[in-house]
Structures are given as structure tokens and as C-alpha cells.
């Protein structure tokens, strides 16, 4: 979509929100629009590492939600950007989990950021 790819911005944003507001932080949207799911996994790994760093420093991060579960409709770009952890075939409506979904699911099943799974 022409935006800079900089997953470290999430950690910086959490730290700034904590510094300014001093209240718990909830990440409600974080992800990457790309056709290359390997790039998405790398992005998510780096972003989640930043969340782990914030937690290690005592910042109260209450949750993290990846954007988004499914490839969806973006108002300006239509169905072209692929943000989803799950691909959607627009002609059959078949849904196919991507490697990024499997990676994030594996992380969630661990219930810990201490030993985040490495991307396949």
C-alpha cells in the first residue's frame, strides 16, 4: 500500500502511550498488507518481540490483536491489500489459513512470549 514496513514502530508506540497516559495498553490492530506471507510472519515476529520487550520492562500490555483474521475490503483499495491471516477466495468464499495464522496460533497456544516460536 506504499507504507513503510517498520514493525519496531509498535514497541515505540506502546512505550509512548504508556509514557503519556500511564494506563494499561491494548494493541487492537497490528499487521502488514502483503502477498508474501513469509514477510507477514517476519513482521509479526518482530512486532511481538517488541511487545515482549515492553512487558519485560513492566509496561502493562493487556493484549495484542493482529490485523486482520481475513483478507478484507479496504475502503480505498478494495480487496487488493492482503492483510489477513486467512486467505479468502472471493469466487468460492473458501477460507485457507496462511502460515502467519499457524505461527500466531502456535504463539497463542504457548501462552508465553518468553520462547516465541520461530517462523517456519
Q: pLDDT per residue over 74-119, tens digit each?
A: 787 766 777 899 999 989 999 999 999 999 999 999 877 765 666 5
Is it the case that residue 51 has pLDDT exceeding 60?
yes
Q: In which band, very low, low, confident or very high, does the pLDDT at 3 lie, cut at 50, 70 and 90?
A: confident
Asked if residue 13 is part of any domain, the answer here is: yes
Residue 106: what pLDDT?
93
> Residue 79 — φ and ψ, nearest 5°?
-90, 5
- Total domain count for the chain? 1
Residue 116: what pLDDT?
60
16, 14, 28, 92 alpha-carbon torsion, rounded to 10°: 120
- Supply 49's cell numbers: 518481540
Asked if residue 118 is part of any domain, the answer here is: no
Contact criterion met (CB below 8 Å) for 107 and 63: no
Asked if residue 115 is part of any domain, the answer here is: no
Q: pLDDT per residue over 55-81, tens digit each?
A: 999 999 999 999 999 987 678 776 677
Residue 117: what pLDDT?
62
Asked if residue 27 is part of any domain, the answer here is: yes
Asked if residue 117 is part of any domain, the answer here is: no
Q: Which of 109, 112, 98 is nearest to 41 (CA)?
A: 98
Give the 3-state secondary structure of the chain.
CCCCCCCHHHHHHHHHHHHHHCCCEEEEEECCCCCCHHHHHHHHHHHHHHHHHHHHCCCCEEEEEECCCECCCECCCECCCCCCCEEECCCCCCEEECHHHHHHHHHHHHCCCCCCCCCC
Is it the case that residue 120 has pLDDT exceeding 60?
no
115/38 Cα distance (integer angstroms)? 20
Domain span at 37? 8-110
Residue 34: what pLDDT?
92
Amino acid at each position: 500500500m506504499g507504507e513503510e514496513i517498520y514493525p519496531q514502530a509498535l514497541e515505540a508506540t506502546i512505550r509512548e502511550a504508556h509514557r503519556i497516559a500511564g494506563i494499561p495498553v491494548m494493541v487492537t490492530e497490528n499487521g502488514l498488507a502483503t502477498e508474501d506471507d513469509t514477510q507477514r510472519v517476519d513482521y509479526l515476529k518482530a512486532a511481538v518481540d517488541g511487545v515482549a520487550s515492553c512487558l519485560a520492562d513492566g509496561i502493562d500490555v493487556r493484549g495484542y490483536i493482529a490485523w486482520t483474521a481475513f483478507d478484507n475490503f479496504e475502503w480505498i483499495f478494495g480487496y487488493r491489500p492482503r492483510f489477513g491471516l486467512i486467505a479468502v477466495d472471493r469466487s468460492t468464499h473458501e477460507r485457507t489459513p496462511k502460515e502467519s495464522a499457524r505461527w500466531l496460533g502456535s504463539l497463542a497456544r504457548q501462552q508465553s512470549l518468553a520462547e516465541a516460536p520461530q517462523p517456519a
